[in-house]
Amino acid sequence: MAALPADVELRLLQPSDIDAALLLSREAGWNQVAADWQIFLDLGVAYGLVTRSEGRLVGTAATLAHGSGFAWISMLLVAVDWRRRGLARWLLRHCVQELMDRRLVPVLDATPAGRPVYLRLGFRDCWSMRRLVRHQPLQSSDRENGDSARIRPLRSSDWPALLAYDCAVFGGDRTALLRRLADRVPEAALVAERPGGIAGFLLGRDGRVMTQFGPLAAEDEETAEALLRRAFLVRPPPYAIDVADRHARLGRWLVGRGFAVERPLTRMVYGQRAAFDDPARLFAAAGPELG
């Protein structure tokens, strides 16, 4: 790894750094709020590049382990006036090495701009998704449907079954993360029931500019649509949903209801082309920073 500039040093982020970190994510036009940065401080590892002379935060990165097999890399941010000096690449390599030392496989969700860089550093494409957004309220005919009767709010007694379901769908244990997300937008924490167990679930979180729905896991497209219909009833727009391209029917359903494609994303895994999730049942991600 190339050396950092002489005036920059790496350290772990602290709660007192959240305001400065939010400035970087806002500068990039991202959707995070303070609670998102707190997730990385509490459940993961958050790094900061700080100038020695001023103590200014000029770059960030974070890792978040999902069980004992793999971990996310995200929040790669560099202040505008410090870009093109190799800071983002240095942070990425640092995170990769740190995770490999812990015997965790690095995973990330890449924007089109970042994907070529990640490919050169050893990441491989696994599957693609699109961020779909809507700013205007939906018509009642687009929100309600008879099949939504099988959807109900998440109950505390659902947690053991929901966590087991998610672990099978996502491929790793993210218990603490899901419990935090359920508290962020509790009215949109929903479960789909079937005889004998859970047929799917949806969580959401508040953001700086819009509500992010996800993760969304379900047994089939109809159930995924029903979960979102109920969420549209209880939470006003704007919305963002990162929908897997392999679930084309759900994508078309959302576009048909006025959602627009904001940008593509690619799930990438370091050194391999196979992801850890169940492609048939994982419909939407929790967001590129969380997996």
Q: How far apart are CA 83 and CA 77, in angstroms?
A: 9
The burial class, CB within 10 Å (0-12 / 13-18 / 19+), for 151 is: buried
CB 59 within 8 A of CB 82: yes
pLDDT at 99: 98
Q: What is the 3-state secondary structure (H, E, C) of 49-85?
A: EEECCCCCEEEEEEEEEECCCEEEEEEEEECHHHCCC
Q: Which helix (H) or strand (E) holds 260?
A: strand 260-270
pLDDT digits (tens, 9 = 90+) for 91-101: 999 999 999 99
Q: Which helix (H) or strand (E) holds 283?
A: strand 282-284
CB 226 within 8 A of CB 115: no
The list of the chain residues with pLDDT below 50 reads 143, 146, 148-149
Helical H runs in the chain? 18-27, 34-43, 87-101, 115-120, 140-143, 159-170, 175-184, 221-234, 248-255
pLDDT digits (tens, 9 = 90+) for 104-136: 999 999 999 999 999 999 999 999 999 999 998
- Please give the domain boundaries of the chain with CATH numbers for all domains: 8-103 (3.40.630.30), 130-284 (3.40.630.30)
pLDDT at 235: 94
- Give, as one character, the DSSP assignment of residue 4: P
CB 60 within 8 A of CB 75: yes
- Supply the pTM of this predicted model: 0.94
Per-state percent for the chain, helix, strand, coil, to nearest 5: 35, 35, 30
